[in-house]
């Protein structure tokens, strides 16, 4: 139920999560696997892009010289800030919470317990997703809380 599997771009969009322009462009040109490898290894820091592509550059070794050539064309030589991949620690938690919200009918309390966040965080995430227009399954109401108001 709690998956740490790297989500595809399509799944993150379905979950209402932002996907960086760099990742989208890399995926469109070189495939999602290459984009994922690139961001997992270089994300969250600066990457030095050389004047000319070489086979011994870390990018060439990891995902291919054609990716490095694209970076040179797109950004020029120098330092390029590479965004975090989808499974950075903060994103990983958001993805786990959102997967449970979209793929199950668990209560906010159950989601909070499984993901080790507060009920408030789970409720806020559901509200944020609804406001963004994400289709959510019906969540059962807690019968105990209804009884308090009916008395």
Say if CB 106 and CB 122 are below 8 A apart.
no
Say if CB 32 and CB 8 are below 8 A apart.
yes
For residue range 42-52, list pLDDT tens digits in order: 988 899 999 99
Q: What is the pLDDT of residue 122?
A: 93
- Rounded to 5 degrees, φ, ψ at 139 are -100, 130
- For residue 33, the Cα-to-chain-centroid distance in whole angstroms is 14
Averaged pLDDT, 27-53: 93
pTM: 0.68
- CA–CA gap between residue 91 and residue 82 (Å, rounded): 15
Percent with pLDDT over 70 in the chain: 87
- For residue 50, the Cα-to-chain-centroid distance in whole angstroms is 29
Residues in the chain: 151
């Amino acid at each position: 139920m709690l998956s740490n599997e790297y989500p595809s771009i399509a799944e993150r969009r379905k979950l209402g999560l932002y996907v960086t322009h760099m990742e989208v462009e890399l995926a469109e040109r070189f495939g999602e696997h290459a984009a994922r490898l690139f961001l997992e290894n270089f994300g969250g820091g600066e990457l030095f892009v050389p004047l000319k592509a070489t086979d011994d550059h870390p990018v060439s070794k990891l995902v291919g010289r054609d990716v490095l050539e694209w970076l040179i064309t797109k950004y020029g030589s120098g330092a390029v800030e590479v965004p975090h991949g989808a499974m950075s620690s903060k994103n990983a938690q958001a993805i786990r919470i959102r997967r449970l919200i979209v793929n199950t009918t668990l209560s906010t309390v159950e989601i909070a317990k499984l993901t080790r966040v507060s009920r408030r965080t789970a409720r806020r995430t559901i509200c944020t997703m609804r406001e963004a227009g994400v289709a959510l399954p019906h969540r059962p109401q807690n019968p105990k809380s209804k009884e308090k108001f009916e008395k």
